[in-house]
Structure 1
Amino acid sequence: MKRVIAIAVFAAMVGLGCARTSSDDATPTPDKTASAKISSGGIKIGASVSATGPAAFLGDPEAKTLQMLVDELNAAGGINGEKISLVLYDDGGDPNKARTFATRLVENDGVVAIIGGTTTGTTMSILAVAEDAEVPFVSLAGAIDIIQPVKKFTFKTPHTDRMACQKIFEDIKTRGFTKIGMISGTDGFGASMRAQCKSVVGDYGIEIVADETYDPKDADMTAQLTKIKGAPGIQAVLNPGFGQGPSIVTRNYKQLAIGLPFYQSHGVASDGFIELAGAPAAEGVRLPGTALLVADLLQNGDPQKAPVATYKAAFEAKYAIPVSTFGGYANDAFLITTDAIKRAGSAKPAAIRDAIEATSNLAGTTGVYSFGPTDHLGLNQSAFRMLEIKNGKWTLVE
């Protein structure tokens, strides 16, 4: 199905300012208030995020961020004199609902671009619809499969899981460790990162001497961690995963007094992880993260200092909660999309896609983006910061 979507109408949203659904609905339908007070003119941007459900600690700040940024942009006059309308659905982390909403965004809502896909699973569902409809899509999920091989209309803001593995292994090698254990979630993100880590670990002279997995719904991982603890010569442990699972793993790790350096993925890079795991259990955990988590530690001259400070101040003032990496992904996706519309001078999907691909040196909270025909991520390893939790706070590893 190929369609060119014209500039849509501007809908003055009420309540949350978006079309929302309950994650428990068998057949998702927008809230009746979503189409209220329709007026002419404007540009429609669509989104499907997991604001509720098991990935809510990722999707909720994403939804809040998008709502805030639309309000800010419209208050400043919109894009090239046109107001922005956000049509936002909550897919609850369900890939089937994400596909339904993506189809609705394209066929019924008439959006010119889509932001979302909180998880790898929901992203892949949205991606299929966006590519078929030839509508630009900026994903908020981490798996490398989203952008490799390159899909014409799909881009993303987080670093890939492969890059996270490489950043972690660089640090492990620097510390002189050569034998590690892994305990990975079996969800889409965990399985993908596990595979990517196994594919690159040999490049760093590191051996995986224990390799365990857990279901994201498991309430205890002590059996797997006990096996890892007993692996001969083990020197450090890595947990590829996201959601609540890594917090449970971290608590169990502390309870078993394993005592080895412990690494998590960028999939849990937020204050929410520290709260769920508990500061004592999370103490000393390292992971690759973004500048947003250490905003006050950025040096003058760092190209991310201004965008990080601006987003952090606005979000925390509006919602009275700390910013998270995941809200930052949504911030950057919105920045990339709206910057492309401004430069394209058009709200036609094909023009927006071309302008996104031509983005160069655009500083966001996650990194400085420069896309190209063979690169729909636009980030390199320099945008990753190795972080460590000390006294319940994120710190930079020197």
Structure 2
Amino acid sequence: MKKITMRLKSKLWLALLLVLSLLISACSPTKEADVKSAGGNEPYKIGAVLDISGNSSSLGVPERDTLLMMVEKLNANGGVKGHPIDLTIMDNKSDETESVLAVKTLIEKGALAILGASSSGTSMAMIKTVQSEKVPMISLAAASSIVEPTSERQWVYKTAQSDIVMINKIISYLKKNNLNKIAFLYMNNSYGDNGKKAISAAVKDSGIDIVAEEKFDANDKDMTPQLTKVKASGAQAAIVWAIPPSASILTKNFKDIGLSIPLIHSHGVGNQKFIELAQGAADGVILPIGKLSVAQQISDNDSQKKVLESYIADYSKKYNAEPNSFGGYAWDAFNLLVNALEKAGPDRVAIRDELEKTQGFVGISGVFNMTPQDHNGLKEDSAVLVQVDQGKWKLIE
């Protein structure tokens, strides 16, 4: 009898807690209500799918922080023609299936456009959904295949420089330094595969030979076996297409086995986390990257300089840390979308059309000039070559 009484009391407490919870929810304004009251007009809903946790978190976290900062600033200044931005950010956990589920959820909630994802694989996973639902998407990842061919990617754009843009920068460096035999190491995923395709195309008729080709998984903890083969190959330089943490592990392994040839990474390592995880082994690494990391070293006449310095100042004040290229991709995507919204209003088709008309937009990653045949809009002048020197980025070309 005592047990029955206790169960009844427990059920009554649960019922009471449920009633209290409902009362509190009814009294608390929703996120959308908060946004609406801030601008006075109906909010423009947008969504972001980012790799905030998982293997690509070093990309997604600064992108999330940048978007939160920019939405706050924009809404404080009246939003888009009086319409505040209602941004919902979802973490795909660096997983392609989670990316699909997230983008479907955001579209069902009425998102006018999608920003993301952070990496090539998670971005590629969302394309079928945004294409079929006719929702504009601006990826923050690098693989050319995210936006190519444009005849099959009418709704997809991206802000990171494409692999071929960066590889052409590397090829120029190799030729200038008479490095004709290279090793190519890459992640076993969409980003790595696209890098492999781009390097294979770029070396044709260039006089440069790939004498070793090795791949590894994003979760691998030791790339010594692959690097041992590189060491025996006679390669004069090693090019790596990867992101942290695997890119950092490989860099440490590279130094540990005594390889002394130039180590050239992709822009996938364009953040301080890569340097930190490499535990001192990153010094000497060369890579093509956007100008953000060396903003103070570029010419005052560069059209991007003021934009770069403004972003650095805003981000540093907000987070007490310097931004990186990945946050820059989010800055570009958000501003490209806002520019489109200002002209198109809450119309997905019109937003898509305005994105494709983008010309002369000075961003963090470069000056964007998009066309129906080019949904990235960045050329080689958007990148510079840098070298890691005592844990810092140094402009070399």
- TM-score surpassing 0.5? yes
Whether the 8 Å CA contact 1:190–1:242 is kept in 2: the answer is: no
**Superposition pairs for residues 355-394 of structure 1, below 5 Å?**
355-394=354-393
**Superposition pairs for residues 194-205 of structure 1, below 5 Å?**
194-205=196-207
Aligned CA distance change for structure 1 residues 126 and 338 (closer, same or farther; 3 Å): same
Which residue is equivalent to 1:262?
A: 263
1:120: Cα distance to partner? 1.2
Q: Which runs of 5+ in 2 are unaligned?
A: 1-24, 37-41
Q: Which amino acid aligns with 2:251?
A: T
Q: Deviations over 1:150-187 (max 9, x none)?
A: 11111000111122221111111111110011121112
Distance 2:263 2:376 in 1: 28
Q: Which amino acid aligns with 1:185?
A: M
Instruction: Report the more deviating stretch, 160-169 or 37-46.
Output: 37-46
1:273: Cα distance to partner? 0.8
Which residue is equivalent to 1:322?
A: 322
**Superposition pairs for residues 266-345 of structure 1, below 5 Å?**
266-279=267-280, 281-344=281-344
Distance 1:99 1:269 in 2: 26
Taking structure 1 as the reference length, what is the TM-score of the superposition? Answer: 0.89
Distance 1:383 1:203 in 2: 25
Q: Which amino acid aligns with 2:375?
A: H
Distance 1:185 1:136 in 2: 28
Distance 1:357 1:35 in 2: 37
1:38: Cα distance to partner? 3.5
Structure 2 residue aligned with 1:231, among 224, 230, 233? 233
Give the number of the structure whose residues are more often helix, by fraction.
Answer: 2
Aligned CA distance change for structure 1 residues 318 and 229 (closer, same or farther; 3 Å): same
Q: Deviations over 1:49-108 (max 9, x none)?
A: 01111110000001111111000000111001111110110111111111111111111x
Distance 2:99 2:50 in 1: 8
Q: Which amino acid aligns with 1:91?
A: N
Which residue is equivalent to 1:139?
A: 139
1:298: Cα distance to partner? 2.0
1:358: Cα distance to partner? 0.8
Show structure 1 runs of 4+ deviating over 4 A. 32-35
Q: Secondary structure, in 3 states, of the residue corresponding to 2:211?
A: strand
Distance 1:119 1:130 in 2: 17
Which residue is equivalent to 1:163?
A: 165
1:136: Cα distance to partner? 0.8
1:37: Cα distance to partner? 4.4
- Structure 2 residue 152 is the aligned partner of structure 1 residue 153: no
Whether the 8 Å CA contact 2:55–2:218 is kept in 1: the answer is: no
Query: How many percent identity over aligned positions?
Result: 36
Distance 1:78 1:203 in 2: 51
Distance 1:172 1:320 in 2: 38
Instruction: Report the more deviating stretch, 191-200 or 154-163.
Output: 191-200
Pair member with larger Rg: 2
Q: Which amino acid aligns with 1:103?
A: K
Q: Deviations over 1:315-369 (max 9, x none)?
A: 111111221110000000001000111123x121111111111111000110000
Distance 1:311 1:128 in 2: 33
Q: Which runs of 5+ in 1 are unaligned?
A: 1-31
Structure 2 residue aligned with 1:36, among 30, 42, 59? 30
Whether the 8 Å CA contact 2:135–2:348 is kept in 1: the answer is: yes
Q: Secondary structure, in 3 states, of the residue corresponding to 2:233?
A: coil
Q: Secondary structure, in 3 states, of the residue corresponding to 1:204?
A: coil
Whether the 8 Å CA contact 1:214–1:221 is kept in 2: the answer is: yes
Q: Secondary structure, in 3 states, of the residue corresponding to 2:364?
A: coil
Q: Which amino acid aligns with 1:164?
A: M
Q: Which amino acid aligns with 1:204?
A: S
Which residue is equivalent to 1:215?
A: 217
Whether the 8 Å CA contact 2:32–2:43 is kept in 1: the answer is: no
Distance 2:31 2:94 in 1: 29
Q: Which amino acid aligns with 1:288?
A: P
Whether the 8 Å CA contact 2:244–2:273 is kept in 1: the answer is: no
Q: Deviations over 1:217-250 (max 9, x none)?
A: 1111111111111113x21111111131110110
Which residue is equivalent to 2:130?
A: 130
**Superposition pairs for residues 63-212 of structure 1, below 5 Å?**
63-107=64-108, 109-150=109-150, 151-212=153-214
Distance 2:160 2:168 in 1: 15
Instruction: Report the more deviating stretch, 163-172 or 141-150.
Output: 163-172
Whether the 8 Å CA contact 1:262–1:285 is kept in 2: the answer is: yes
Q: Secondary structure, in 3 states, of the residue corresponding to 1:230?
A: helix
**Superposition pairs for residues 244-263 of structure 1, below 5 Å?**
244-263=245-264
Whether the 8 Å CA contact 1:237–1:263 is kept in 2: the answer is: yes
Q: Secondary structure, in 3 states, of the residue corresponding to 1:182?
A: strand
Q: Which amino acid aligns with 2:141?
A: A
Q: Secondary structure, in 3 states, of the residue corresponding to 1:386?
A: strand
Q: Which amino acid aligns with 1:314?
A: D
Number of residues paired by the alignment?
Answer: 363
Whether the 8 Å CA contact 1:48–1:88 is kept in 2: the answer is: yes
Distance 1:196 1:35 in 2: 50
Which residue is equivalent to 2:58?
A: 57
Q: Which amino acid aligns with 1:36?
A: T
Aligned CA distance change for structure 1 residues 154 and 196 (closer, same or farther; 3 Å): same
Taking structure 2 as the reference length, what is the TM-score of the superposition? Answer: 0.89
Whether the 8 Å CA contact 2:43–2:86 is kept in 1: the answer is: yes
